[in-house]
Structure 1
Amino acid sequence: MQWSVEGPFIRERLLRLPGTDKASAIDKQRAQGDVWLDLDGLQGDRVADRRFHGGPDRSLCHYPVEHYRVWLDLFPHLQSLGPAAFGENLSTRGLDERQVCIGDRFGWGDALIEVSQPRSPCSNLDRRHNARGLARQLARSGRTGWLYRTLKPGVITPGAELQLLERPCPNASVLRVWRSFVDDAVSDADLGWLQELQPLASEYRSRFRQRLDARRRLQDQGALF
């Protein structure tokens, strides 16, 4: 299966978020030519805070273009939204969090990429668009987008299609993983499964493991008393 891609989008120079002194690379622009994708991301694409962006498990951000219609309805003052408005490096139609699974491997240009985790929305989206509550709405709706790791670096040519090559974890949709991440009532069985889901980024697996360990400690304490 193949999908047409909007992108790649990059930000070569950091800008200040409106109303703050905080530097950000969220305002991406369409690349004007071929771009090299390596293990850390697209060449020339700046990262302001590496605690939360960039790196081996976050080399690319993908956001479905269809979701923008929802946000225009909820935040009409934005007037127009489209690809790269939420800081993504690529965007497609016909591919969303219900369909895409953790561990999915795609060919994009000459590169091989793998879905590593849901995108965790942050308040920079609110500041970028002067839309208080936007990131919270993304999180609640599950329209988060997702991130990739680069398995094989390569050249990305504008207009290169995205091709699904392998789906090793068909039950691990991005939406299911995100729902489990934000749901305090997720079952112990699901937490156990998620902590062992190898293609899932280690940060997510650690959080699921911590939650399961905390539950087991409480259960052990209850058994003592």
Structure 2
Amino acid sequence: MQWPAEGPFLRNQLLRLPGTEKPSAIDKQLAMSDVWLDFNGLQGDRVADNRFHGGPDRSLCHYPADHYAHWHRHFPRLRDIRPGAFGENMSTLGLDERQVCIGDRFRWGDALIEVSQPRSPCSNLDRRHDASGLARQLAKSGRTGWLYRTLEPGTVHLGAMLRLIERPCPAASVLRIWRGYMNEDLSNTELDWLTSLLPLASEYRTGFRQRLDSRRRKQDQGTLF
């Protein structure tokens, strides 16, 4: 299976978020030529905060173009936004968080990439687009987008197709992982499964493991008294 992909999008100069001195790489622009993708991201694409963006488990951000119509309706200030506006490096039609799974491997241009985690929306989206509550609504709705790790670096051509190569974890949709992340009442069985989902980024698996260990400690303490 394959999908036409808009991109690559990147930003080679950081912006100041409105009303702050905080730099940001949100609102990316379509590249003017082919771009090299390595293990840390697209060549020339700036990252403002390495704690939350870029690196081996976050080399690319993908946001479905289908979602923009929803945000146009709910946030009048966003009527003119287009792919790249939410910080994504790639956008597609007909592919969303319900269909894409953690561990999915895609060929994009000459590069091989693997879905590593849901994208975690941050309040920079609100500031950049003057849309209070936008990040919270992305999180609540599950329209988060997702991130990739690069398995094989390569050149990404303008308009390159996104081609699915392998789906080793068909039960692990991005939406399921995100719902689990947001749900504090998740069952022990589900938490245990999430911690063992090896293609999932380590920060997510660690978080699920900590929740499971904490719950089991409380349960063990309860049996002592």
TM-score when normalising by structure 1: 0.99
Structure 2 partner of 1:158:
158
Pair 1:29 & 2:29 matched: yes
CA deviations 1:74-129 (Å, max 9, x no partner) are: 10122222100100000000000000000000000000000000000000000010
Structure 2 partner of 1:93:
93
**Cα distance in 2, alignment partners of residues 95 and 79 from structure 1:** 22
Is the Cα–Cα contact under 8 Å of residues 7 and 31 in structure 2 kept in the other structure? yes
Runs of 5+ in structure 1 lacking a partner? none
**Cα distance in 2, alignment partners of residues 200 and 77 from structure 1:** 35
Structure 1 partner of 2:179:
179
**Cα distance in 2, alignment partners of residues 74 and 160 from structure 1:** 31
The amino acid that maps onto 1:153 is: P
**Cα distance in 1, alignment partners of residues 185 and 71 from structure 2:** 28
**Cα distance in 2, alignment partners of residues 185 and 98 from structure 1:** 21
Structure 1 partner of 2:210:
210
**Cα distance in 2, alignment partners of residues 50 and 170 from structure 1:** 30
Pair 1:199 & 2:199 matched: yes
Structure 1 partner of 2:66:
66
**Cα distance in 1, alignment partners of residues 127 and 188 from structure 2:** 37
Runs of 5+ in structure 2 lacking a partner? none
The amino acid that maps onto 1:159 is: G
| Alignment root-mean-square deviation, CA | 0.5
CA deviations 1:141-176 (Å, max 9, x no partner) are: 000000000000000010100000000000000000
- Residue identity (%): 73
Show the 5 A alignment for 1:87-126.
Answer: 87-126=87-126
**Cα distance in 1, alignment partners of residues 85 and 103 from structure 2:** 26
Structure 2 partner of 1:55:
55
**Cα distance in 2, alignment partners of residues 144 and 27 from structure 1:** 16
Which deviates further from its counterpart, 74-83 or 8-17? Answer: 74-83
**Cα distance in 1, alignment partners of residues 112 and 92 from structure 2:** 17
**Cα distance in 1, alignment partners of residues 186 and 19 from structure 2:** 38
CA deviations 1:193-225 (Å, max 9, x no partner) are: 000100000000000000000000000110001
